[in-house]
Amino acid sequence: MVNKNTGSRHEKGWYRIFILVVVWLLIISLSRDVWQIRIGFGRIEEANRRLEAEKTKNEALKEKLGMVMTDDYKEKIIREKLNMQKEGEVLVVMPDKAFAQEEVRLVKFVPNWRKWWNLLSM
Task: Parse the chain into domains and list their residue ranges.
Answer: 4-88
In percent, how much of the chain has pLDDT > 70?
Answer: 80
Mean pLDDT, rounded, for 42-59: 97
Q: Could you tell me if 83 and 91 are in contact, meaning their C-beta atoms sit under 8 angstroms apart?
A: yes
How many C-beta atoms lie closer than 10 Å to residue 79's C-beta?
14
Q: Could you tell me if 91 and 85 are in contact, meaning their C-beta atoms sit under 8 angstroms apart?
A: yes
Q: Whole-model pTM?
A: 0.47
In percent, how much of the chain has pLDDT > 90?
Answer: 51
Report the number of secondary-structure helices (H) and strands (E) in the chain: 4, 0
Rounded CA gap, 117 and 86, in Å? 65
How many C-beta atoms lie closer than 10 Å to residue 78's C-beta?
13
Give 58-94 pLDDT, tens digit per residue: 999 999 999 999 999 988 888 888 877 888 887 777 7
